[in-house]
Amino acid sequence: MRNRKIGLDDSNFEGCPVEITLDVIGGKWKGILLFHLIGGKKRFNEFQKLDPKITQRMLTLQLRELERDGLIHREVYKEVPPKVEYSLTEFGRTLEPIILLMQEWGKEHKDRIMKYKQHS
């Protein structure tokens, strides 16, 4: 893994396992991208259609990080125009139960969260 804020590339790192997990899937977009890949391969433009709020630059950065961490595979097809598909790796699939639990938690608590946000 990259040297991010918590320095996970240090082989002596013995931090909280939750910290390690959040380093890999944390941020606004990674969990969402992984969630969409659970359903199968996606092309770059499909991600943008699924959530138009993500900028092209941020989408590129997040996909690169997920690929670098071994969670997704980027397949480039040699054709014109170029075709690129993203899919979960076997390692990425190990996060599926976590992502699906996050989905359930979000459904269950959406109203409560929105209520608190409105009063902030």
Tokens of 22: 């959040």
Q: For 49-101, how does the pLDDT look when each residue is reduced to its tens digit (9 = 90+)? A: 999 999 999 999 999 999 999 999 999 999 998 899 999 999 999 999 999 99
| 18 CA to centre of own chain | 16
The C-alpha atoms of residue 117 and residue 95 are separated, in whole angstroms, by 28
Q: Where are the domains of the chain?
A: 17-118
Q: Which helix (H) or strand (E) holds 44?
A: helix 44-50
Residue whose C-alpha is closest to residue 25's, from 17, 34, 16: 34
Q: Architecture of domain 17-118 in CATH?
A: Orthogonal Bundle (1.10)
**Mean pLDDT score, 4-33:** 78
pLDDT-based confidence at residue 2 (cuts at 50, 70, 90):
very low
Q: How many CB atoms lie within 10 A of CB 61?
A: 13
Side-chain half-sphere CA neighbours of 5 within 13 A = 7
